[in-house]
Amino acid sequence: MRRVCRCAPPLRPLARILQAREDGLNPDSIEKENLRLRHEAIREKARGRAEFRLLILCASFVLAFGAIGARMGLMAATEPVEPRASAPGAEIIAQRADITDRNGRILATNMTTHALYAHPKVMVDPKGVALKLAEIFPDLKAADLERRFTDGRSFVWIRKVLSPEQMQLVHEIGDPGLLFGPREMRLYPNGTLAAHVLGGTSFGAEGVHSAEVIGTAGIEKALDARLRDPAKGGKPLTLSIDLTIQSTIEEVLSAGMTMLNAKGAAAILMDVRTGEIVALASLPTFDPNDRPNPLVDKNAEPGDSPLFNRAVQGVYELGSTFKIFAAAQAMELGLVAPETLVDANAPMRWGRHLIKEFEGKNYGPLLSVTDVIAKSSNVGTAHIALMIGPLRQQAFLKSLGFFEPTPLELIEAPGARPLIPKKWPEIVTITTSYGHGMSASPMHLAAAYAAIANGGVMIKPTLLKREGPTTGVRVMSEKTALEAVKMLRRVVTEGTASLGEVPGYEVAGKTGTADKPKRTGGYYEDKVINTFASVFPASNPQYVLIVTLDEPLDTAGSEPRRTAGWTAVPVAAEIIRRTAPLMGLRPKLEPLTLEGAVPDAVTAASN
């Protein structure tokens, strides 16, 4: 029997041929039909594969064009950004936290602007670019720019801040070597308001890596690391300052400075319970958006510069405002009581020194301790100081913070060190008791008066909003502090600060008039620093207000007057009158009595 190969089946199987013949069909036609069907199947399969490939290709085109369209839409909806520098460190955007007042109102924030820099190595026409840039920026010289573009540098700063108009003009130059970089600049939306608190900022040193905003003065520099800390997540720095109160105080202080012909002024409003500074002002002032350069005149006084913070950096003899410290310490030591009589015969001779009263007055032979403060007796205060003695006086003043700079969040504060006598004999004890021979800042005075006002606790002053209870160091008993406030109230109702009375707000305080020292030694006879340190309301003290005027002169009367009772006191009274209601203090109506009335302010407003 013949074998059939299994590897290639016959083209015409016998069974099919036999069956075809039985059916009367032609086997050749059947084979042709089968061949046609196979070819048709192959074509269908090929067509299917082609259609699938075409579908994939179409889908790819749709996705690609969709992505391009989405990108074009995004670019149309956002601000265009110029190409960045390819040099190392080309990122020049810096983030800095906002600064707000205690109520969340913006004091300092950031604004996006653009810097202009160049890649000289890809410039087409360095000389032409230099000429055109000099036309856009008149303070730039074409020759200097051309030299910088052609000396082999790969990166050149041209302008760190551009206006939109300047940016457009640079665009029109069209040179590929000119590039823009987005960056932040510091913006102070309130202009000069709280300028000495905020201080100011500038850009970092030349070089892209350092093009962030850095603090140069005030709290911007003191807390620069905090404001730049990425870990804070841009959380605003909240100050204790109240923008409304700050604005009111600056307005009143400026008007008072003008009316009283003063060359400078300062004011501090402090919460006696928390140590928070609600307002701090110094005049003359400046706009931190356009911070001026420091004075270069060697003959000028530091206070002549608007950058000088008189409230913190100004170290002055504070005059009779110191007298309450002698009275308070003597009461704390049990040496005197408010009604204790002390020698007030003037003048008082101590060795070769003669202690006089203001304008040659004589309050003797005796005055109560309360009247020594109310009448501002130098002689009476001197006798109280001698009871205390040099060592105990130094220790008490040190506990009140007068021997060290104030620990405030301003970069200028550490440099404001009080001027302390090198030796402390009894004559220094005498003069220091009435505020001469020792110098401190208005901020020192505010912190010390706050300790009296809050019941005897020395609290660290702060420019940051405080949350929760505040602790401090007790420097005197509550009883002593209460009696001291009563004495300060008498200064206003019956003494040298009668013009400081604000109906309903029980102002207490002490005046201080100090002759200005000369650089060559001695004192001016016609130049003074006037201060009024006040507490209100006296029955439940909430705030301390310090007002200081530099070289004031009241010319409203028949004779010129320079004492604090005529200058600093009325300015402080107007500040209290306008700010107390804003701080939620309700006026307390006091019944009028003939006994406490002061009909003629002229007799009271002295030193």
Task: Dump pLDDT digits (tens) for 108-147.
Answer: 999 888 889 899 999 999 999 999 999 999 999 999 999 9
- DSSP letters along 413-482, please? GGG---B--SS--HHHHHHHHTT-S-EE-HHHHHHHHHHHHTTSEE---BSB---S----EE-S-HHHHH
User: Tens of pLDDT along 463-521?
Assistant: 999 987 889 999 999 999 999 999 999 999 999 999 999 999 999 999 999 988 887 77
Superfamily of domain 103-143+152-237: Penicillin-binding protein 2a (Domain 2) (3.90.1310.10)
Place of tokens 């101590």: 350
Provide the residue count of the chain: 607
Superfamily of domain 244-287+312-591: DD-peptidase/beta-lactamase superfamily (3.40.710.10)
299 versus 399: the higher-pLDDT residue is: 399
Report helix angle 390-399 to 426-433, nearest 10: 40
What pLDDT score does 300 carry?
A: 76
Backbone φ, ψ for residue 13 (5° rounding): -60, 140
* Rg (alpha carbons) of the chain, rounded to whole number: 42
Inter-residue contact 83 to 120 (CB < 8 Å): no
Number of neighbours of residue 335 by Cβ within 10 angstroms: 15
| CA-closest candidate to residue 531, choices 414, 425, 446, 438 | 446
User: Tens of pLDDT along 74-107?
Assistant: 544 444 343 344 343 344 455 789 999 999 999 9
* 70 pLDDT above the threshold of 70: no
Average pLDDT value over all residues in the chain: 86
Report d(CA 30, CA 22) in Å as an integer.
14
* 328 pLDDT above the threshold of 50: yes
Inter-residue contact 463 to 408 (CB < 8 Å): yes
Number of neighbours of residue 362 by Cβ within 10 angstroms: 13
What residue segments make up the domains of the chain, in order of their start?
103-143+152-237, 244-287+312-591
- DSSP letters along 269-331, please? EEETTT-BEEEEEEES---GGGPPPPP--TTS-GGGSTT--TTTT--EE-GGGGHHHHHHHHH
Instruction: For 463-484, give one letter per residue: b (16+ CB within 10 A) or e.
Output: bbbbeeebebeebbeeebbebb
| Mean pLDDT, rounded, for 162-178 | 91
Report d(CA 538, CA 209) in Å as an integer.
55
Listed in sequence order, the residues at least 6 apart from 146 whose beta carbon sits closer than 8 Å to its beta carbon are 126, 127, 130
* 44 pLDDT above the threshold of 60: yes
* 158 pLDDT above the threshold of 80: yes
